[in-house]
Amino acid sequence: MLDGLQEILFTLRQNKLRTLLTAFGVFWGIFMLILLLGAGRGMQNGIWQDFGSDVLDFFIVWTAETSVPYRGMASGRQITFTLADIEAVKQQVSGIRLISAERFAQNGNVNYGRKASNGQILGVPDEYFQVKDDVPFNFGRKVNPLDQDESRKVVLLGKAVADRLFAANEDPVGKEVRVKDVVMKVVGVFYDKGGRGQNSERVLMPISTMQKMYGGGEITDNIWVRPLPGVDPFELEKQVLEVLKRRHDVSPDDRRGINSFNMAMPAQSVNSLFVGITVFIWFVGLGTLMAGIVGISNIMIITVKERTKEIGVRKALGATPFSIVSTLLLESTLVTAVAGYIGLVCGVGLLELVSFTLRKAGVVLPYFLNPEVDFGVAITAIMLLVGVGVLAGLAPAVRAARITPIEAMRAE
């Protein structure tokens, strides 16, 4: 084995320029493939970033004024949801994983000592945070059922609000703030990246607490719904809308009185888009890679032709066809693997450098975030590269093994 490697290295050194150009073709192919895949992942991360911190299998229902007369009632009626609507949906529609209310109050001041911040005030039940699964809590906890049942005067501060009220790295949990002149205890700080971070300008409290502070009974502005796994989100949305429109005497054709947004629709569109982009990237990258592989095949053909007499002498001295084939295959595999590995390392290194530079400079590019390559994809690319490199050298190697000693000695 060692003798074979020494022979291969000697042959490669004898043809340095040819070997270098062949290896560069393979290097460039895998390098471009890694860069394209990394850029595609960066674009995907950037677009998913705009989806915020919400899960991707929910839909939200809200109300407005009706636009269609119905059952003798004129258009222009203001529809208002209550918590009773949520209970009705729970009882009449199956396939719901969770359903949650969301109530808005007018923006208000939040004060801590001499510091003040404006924020959007919302009342939510504890189920609400099953929709906000991906929202990180830097300090404290979420609203829990006891907060809701006992109407506790507790609040969760968005990071943007907390940063204005408290010093850097200060833990706000347990501190008392004034929300519209009502003293409340901070139990958590969250960061919701939705709306490019604007959702972190919010102040959340138990919806039962909001009812006592602001009145309005059991009114709720929005209803959030998540389907059970395997349930069609669009069919579930249709059933929920039918129940709510029937309860509020809204025409089935009215798209304004009760409206909805289903996150499954843009999520499906984005997934389809990225499947297309990934296929295109692999097509272009593999095309570039194949150019290098073809170069290896051509070089192997030339190598066999140049070494025809040598192969004939080796066969006359007793060399087996397997030893000849394995030597030539090892040569093509060695060039392919080394050049491909260097291309992979350089591609991943460049992506990491770009990602580090963007983070260090605090640059936020629209629709582009953290370019990276999946480890499994990188390994697949290397295995594919080595496999194709072996195939590229197989045909010339087999041809060389079939040459008889007499034919080899006669070759010019």
Could you read off the pLDDT of 116-138 as tens digits, one per residue? 888 889 898 888 877 776 676 76
The pTM score is 0.65
* Predicted pLDDT at 360: 77
- Taking the C-alpha atoms of residue 357 and residue 61, their distance in angstroms, rounded to an integer, is 42
Structure tokens belonging to residue 357: 């530079």
Distances (CA, A) of 165 to 120, 137, 155, 175, 195: 15, 17, 14, 11, 22
Structure tokens at 65: 């004024």
Instruction: With a cut of 90, say whether residue 392 has pLDDT above it.
Output: no
Whole-angstrom Cα distance, residue 412 to residue 410?
A: 7
pLDDT digits (tens, 9 = 90+) for 44-81: 777 666 665 556 778 899 998 988 888 888 888 899 99
Residue 5 has pLDDT above 60, yes or no: no
Predicted confidence at residue 88, as pLDDT, reads 93
3-class secondary structure, 112:
strand
> Where exactly are the structural domains of the chain?
2-51+268-410, 59-262
Q: How many CB atoms lie within 10 A of CB 6?
A: 10
- Interatomic CA distance for residues 85 and 70, integer angstroms: 20
Q: Is residue 345 exposed (0-12), middle (13-18) or buried (19+ Cβ within 10 Å)?
A: middle
328 or 114, higher pLDDT: 114
- Cα–Cα distances (Å) from 238 to 31, 233, 262, in that order, read 48, 9, 10
DSSP code at position 297: H
Strands 176-179 and 182-190, how do they pair? antiparallel
Closest CA to 264 of 80, 410, 56, 24: 56
How far apart are the C-alpha atoms of 339 and 284, rounded to whole Å?
Answer: 19
> Token match 């109530």: residue?
103
pLDDT at 363 (0 to 100) = 62
Single-letter code of the amino acid located at 240: V
pLDDT tens per residue, range 313-352? 666 666 666 666 667 677 777 777 788 888 888 888 888 8
Task: Name the residue type at position 22.
Answer: T
Rounded to whole angstroms, how far apart are CA atoms 375 and 383? 12
